[in-house]
Amino acid sequence: MSEKKAFELTKKEEDFSRWFDEVLFKASILDERYPVKGLYVWLPYGYAIMENIMSVMERLLRETGHKRVYFPSIVPESTLSREFRFIKGFENTIYWITQVGLRKLDERLALRPTSEAIMYEVLSRWIKSYSDLPLRIYQIVPAYRYETKATRPMLRVREITFFKEAHTFHVTFEEAVEQVKLGVDIYKKFYDELLVPYIVVKTPPWDTFPGARYNYDLVTILPDGKALELGSVINFGDLFAKAYDLQYTDRDGKKKYVHTTSFGVSERSLASVIAIHGDNRGLVLPPKISPIKVVIVPIPFKGFEKEINNYASKVYSLVSSSYTCELDLIEDEKPGYKFYKWEMKGVPVRLEVGKSEVEEGSVTVFRRDIMERTRVSEEELLPYLEDLFEDMEEKMREKARRYFESMIVYVEDVESLKSSMQNKLVSFPWCGEKGCALKVEELTGYSMIGYEEDSLSGKSKGCIVCGKEAPHLAWMGRSY
RNA sequence: GGGGGCGUAGUCUAGCUUGGCUAGGAUGGAGGCCUUGGGAGCCUCAGACCCGGGUUCAAAUCCCGGCGCCCCCA
């Protein structure tokens, strides 16, 4: 039990938290052994996966008119505190620079916890006219938040390494409302491509982002029963614009405040992929984001090494014309060892070529998701792989959907709420009153994740607490 | 926010209660022989008591502080 081989993991269903930590290290995603709490080193393989994930995101942003920018990571206190709600929301988590060398600074400088303040200060000089709007920009940068709860690699960190934050600027509140819908839509497409199931909820008013009018979250649930926020889409209205003097001149010649939104995701996106698709042999990566789509493992045979290696090289040239592919020629590792190694890294397809494949001009195709082998002739290989990747996506999506459904439950009365609350996301009809939500929090020990606005209108038996008309579907659970 | 537990090679761990031989094993690493269709075996080598202070003839072990990690409850 305690003595584990290099590619052996704690069982996911027995201890998810340990499984997760082990898989991050053994699949070469992160090195957790960094001397500062809450910060982690990204290894080449993990970084490559993140780059692929972010390029999915960038494609979606590009298609919807968002442009990439870079704003510095340091912001003066005076800028940060122009909107008091904002600074108040982050006051316990900001890293402050107070000194440079031996000299104490006159004004404290902060490392960005997020970039609204940093950007708006500058944007007030960019935006002059209605014709400058809408403006949609984003950046992918580290962000710093001193998490006060226990840190967890990739899930609760003090340096968000891949913080994709988009910020948009609009003439009217209505346009900002539309932008929020677009943001939610982008995130839905994004997580659909990552094969991660989610719910979209509106955050209760008492829990919205500091300075926001309202915001939507995409939320999933990890195998330990804890809810994970995957992304947030925020409408600030003109609240921030007033604090940062973001005004434009409208067609009628009058000065008006800009309406702004922002939406962000992070490496939690990868965390959710790993947690939901991974198994007891390691990662199972969706083909779309796997840095290596196909790995070729030659199976040596005494006196036949040359033929096998030549054939493996031939298969490699064939496959690498269409897919990123790796030929594993390491001589000191036996085939069985290599199998475990590549399974840990979650490579979707492994091709095995040995004596028998050479003789019949075929390839043994192994798929990681359901761990099955098929033998395919060399000519049929490419079309076979094309279908295989498609089928793999479908099966993984379906499996994740079934998993998600097993982790959520809908109840209509307090008794079933109490009895069905073990490690699941619980949904129930809710009238919209804070008091009723707090009552449920008190009864269950869960916290409110959000609600689906008006999704139950005229369909529910009434609020689970007060019995009044309940138009909303509320979601509660334990949370990261 | 409150409580509990833990820290020994790259990784996992034995030893700690009751201080005492060269800190033991596995896995991983390097070199070699032999092998290769699901983690082979054998030989050789290198590798550790989180940091600081205290108690003691003697500290991985006991005490204090720091740092770090895990779990539970709010």
Q: What confidence tens digit (pLDDT) does each residue in A50-76 have?
A: 999 999 999 999 999 999 999 999 999
Please state, in angstroms and rounded to a whole number, the distance separating the CA atoms of residues A394 and A399. Answer: 9
pLDDT at position A37 over 70: yes
pLDDT band at A379 (very low <50, low <70, confident <90, very high): very high
Q: How far, in Å, is the CA of A445 from the C1' of nucleotide B17? A: 39
Mean pLDDT across A175-202: 98
Torsion sign, CA atoms A357, A358, A362, A364: positive
Does strand B come within 7 Å of the CB of A6? yes
Whether pLDDT at A393 is above 50: yes
Where are the domain boundaries for CATH 3.40.50.800 in chain A?
292-386
pLDDT of residue A396: 98
Percent of chain A with pLDDT over 70: 99
pLDDT at A32 exceeding the cut of 60? yes
pLDDT for the residue A1:
29
* CATH H-level superfamily of A16-277: Bira Bifunctional Protein; Domain 2 (3.30.930.10)
Whole-angstrom distance, CA of residue A124 vs CA of residue A119: 9
Tokens of A432: 């919209």
Percent of chain A past pLDDT 90, that is, above it, reads 78
**Average pLDDT, stretch A162-174?**
97
**Cβ contact A148 with chain B strand, < 7 A:** yes
Return the bridge partners of A295, or none. A326, A350
Nearest nucleotide relative to A7: CA against C1': B39
Which pLDDT belongs to residue A3? Answer: 52
Residue A277's alpha-carbon distances to A9, A224, A404, in angstroms, are 15, 14, 11
Cβ of A21 less than 7 A from strand B: yes
CA–CA distance, A46 with A24 (Å, rounded to integer): 8
Cite the residue boundaries of each domain of chain A with CATH code 3.30.930.10: 16-277
Predicted confidence at residue A207, as pLDDT, reads 87
Determine whether the distance from the CB of A334 to the nearest atom of strand B is below 7 Å: yes
Element holding A414 (H helix, E strand): helix A414-419
Report residue A2's pLDDT band, with 50, 70 and 90 as the boundaries. very low
Q: Is the CB of A225 under 7 A from strand B?
A: no
> A356 and A304 in contact (C-beta within 8 Å)?
no
How far apart (Å, rounded) are the C-alpha atoms in residues A286 and A273? 8
Kindly report which listed range (A115-129, A243-257, A289-303, A407-421) carries the lowest average pLDDT score.
Answer: A407-421
DSSP alpha helices (H): ranges in A173-267?
Answer: 173-193, 239-244
Note the pLDDT of residue A445: 81
The predicted pLDDT at position A4 comes to: 65
User: Is 90 exceeded by the pLDDT of residue A92?
Assistant: no
- So what's the pLDDT on residue A142? 95
Query: Which nucleotide does the CA of A26 lie closest to, via C1'?
Result: B11
> Between A251 and A6, where is the model more confident?
A251
- Is the confidence at residue A475, as pLDDT, over 50? yes
Structure confidence at residue A480 (pLDDT) = 83
Question: Mean per-residue pLDDT for A193-218?
Answer: 94
Residues in A 87-146 whose C-beta is less than 7 A from nucleic strand B are none
Looking at CATH, the fold of the domain delimited by A408-479 is given as Translation Initiation Factor IF3 (3.30.110)
* Whole-number distance in Å between A36 CA and B69 C1': 12
CATH number given to A292-386:
3.40.50.800
A354 touches strand B (CB under 7 A): yes
The pLDDT assigned to A421 comes to 66
pLDDT at A343 over 50: yes
Identify the band that residue A166 occupies on the pLDDT scale cut at 50, 70 and 90.
very high
Nucleotides of B under 7 A from a protein CB: 1, 10-13, 25-28, 35-40, 67-74
* Average pLDDT of every residue of chain A: 93
Give the closest nucleotide to A153 (alpha carbon vs C1'). Answer: B69
The yes-or-no verdict on residue A173 having pLDDT over 60 is yes
Q: What does the pLDDT read at residue A88?
A: 84
Ranges of CATH 3.30.110.30 domains, chain A: 408-479
- Give burial (CB, 10 Å; 0-12/13-18/19+) of A262: buried
